[in-house]
Amino acid sequence: MSGAVVTVKVSQASAVRLVASTGIDFSNPVKTALITLDEFQLARGEFTGLDPDARYFLTVENASGVRDPSYVGSFRTPPSGPHSFGFASASCSDTGSNGLIFDRIRERVEADEISFFMHTGDLHYRDIFINEEIRFHAAFDEAFSQSRQNALWRICPMPYMWDDHDYGPNDTDRDNPARQAAIAAYRRRVPSYPLVRSGAEDAPYYSFVRGRVRFIVTDVRSERAEKGEFDSTDPQQVAFTTTQRDWLFAEMLAAQAADQAIIWVSTKPWVAAITNGADHWGGYDAARQEIASFISTNSLNRRVAILSGDMHALAYDDGSSVNNPAGLRVIQAAPLERTRSAKGGPYTTGPFPTSGATISGYGVIDVTDETGSGDLNVRFRGISVDRSTGAESTEIDVNFDLGANL
């Protein structure tokens, strides 16, 4: 059986039920218990026992059972067991983004080409540094009220991990003065997979399994040392706490034991030269080398691919870059709407393009699992979208296998 966690912002009610049904007429509905809205008018509920591989329509009803006709969303539950699937990913939306790229992604959802969108950060650029939770909710409201974003996120599950601009100021870290408020807003607002830690000061990292792929979603912002606080090769220049590091390693070993491929979601670029004071992994090389050593020592190199955003361009590395410790496949996909720019590298493919404000970008990742054992095939297409016309072009189209080491 399957489940879903849903968060809905509701007006003109004090308590609601979330209602899901496989029929658009909401026949034979599944309902949550009555949810009292919080001070931000948010209703968060969980559905369990849903049918696998089924599209559910979603609405809300008040305490008297009257449905709200202004809100209808939907989501599709995954099939059970090993299966092939597709998803999209990108980062870096401008504040209040409402571009045609969201229509193009929504059309892929409607065509069942992609099952979810892995958002790798910078959902907004409010750069909040005041420790007030309401400011983060206002930024979420601004993004989700845009017509094209709203139409997309109503029908597409969105696993999400913040980066700097939606967690705090540019290039921020564990010393972000708004850290507590950012964490509180994330825990209240984001309909995440179960978070590993539950404390008010704990970073919101998590994992989930789709078919035979384990997605490990790390928070490389809220626990890291300030960029340039120590030399890049100094072990004190940490990317996250030892607690999160040990969890990452345990998740990788669990995937290996379960014969799962690993997509590690690390929001900042992995492929980069060692550079003191840099925001990418090149500024945190001691931490990067520790992770690379663990992957190599445990023969995980062919099992792991990294999915990142932050760089405002599309790129792929097949593992052969001189600045790619452990020789991992790396997918870079962005920006949803920010000005294009390059970061890190060199990459074996890309970055495309390196400059300009008129082209958006996202990645489509297809995972093919034909046998339910052995290697999986991954196809990454880096898609550019003309912001004036909405026309798409494929900048990158590569295939690679993930699986057990030979």
Residue 128: both structure tokens together: 């909040």
Which residue is associated with the tokens 């209808």?
72
Q: What is the pLDDT of residue 406?
A: 40
- Decide: 229 and 244 in contact? Cβ < 8 Å: no
Burial grade of 72 (CB within 10 A; 0-12, 13-18, 19 or more): middle
H or E stretch covering 369: none
User: Tens of pLDDT along 35-80?
Assistant: 999 999 999 999 999 999 999 999 999 999 999 988 999 999 999 9
Report the DSSP beta bridge partners of residue 164: none
Residue 210 has, within 13 A of its CA and on its CB side, a CA count of 22
- 398 band by pLDDT with thresholds 50, 70 and 90: very high
To which CATH superfamily is domain 1-77 assigned? Immunoglobulins (2.60.40.10)
- Per-residue pLDDT band for 95 (boundaries 50, 70, 90) equals confident
Structure tokens, 253? 């070993």
Per-domain boundaries in the chain: 1-77, 84-402
Q: What are phi and psi of 47, to 5 degrees?
A: -105, 140
H-run or E-run covering 290: helix 285-297
Domain spanning 84-402: CATH superfamily = Alkaline phosphatase D (PhoD) (3.60.21.70)
| Pairing verdict, β 304-308 and 261-265 | parallel
Pull the structure tokens for residue 121.
């950060």
Q: How much is the pTM?
A: 0.97
258, pLDDT greater than 60: yes
Question: Across residues 172-191, what is the average pLDDT?
Answer: 98
Which residues of 139-272 form beta strands (DSSP E)? 206-210, 213-217, 261-265
d(CA 24, CA 12): 23
**How far apart (Å, rounded) are the C-alpha atoms in residues 151 and 88?**
16
Q: How much is the pLDDT for 326? A: 96
Whether the ω angle into residue 351 lies within 30 degrees of 0, i.e. cis, is yes
The answer to whether residue 405 scores a pLDDT higher than 80 is no
Q: In this model, does residue 355 exceed pLDDT 90?
A: no
pLDDT in tens, 193-246: 999 999 999 999 999 999 999 999 999 999 999 999 999 999 999 999 999 999
SS3 90: strand
Count of Cβ atoms closer than 10 Å to residue 270 Cβ? 25
Smallest CA-to-CA distance from 162 within 132, 206, 131, 120 is with 120
What pLDDT does residue 357 have? Answer: 82
Does the structure show a pLDDT above 50 at 86?
A: yes
C-alpha–C-alpha distance, residues 152 and 117, integer Å: 10
Report the C-alpha gap between 398 and 380 in whole angstroms.
Answer: 5
CB-facing half-sphere around the CA of 293: CA atoms within 13 A: 7
Structure tokens at 169: 């100021």
Coil/strand/helix, residue 246:
helix
Helix (H, G, I), strand (E, B) or coil at 181: helix
Mean pLDDT score of the chain, rounded to an integer? 96
Helix ranges (H only) for 91-144 are 101-110, 133-144
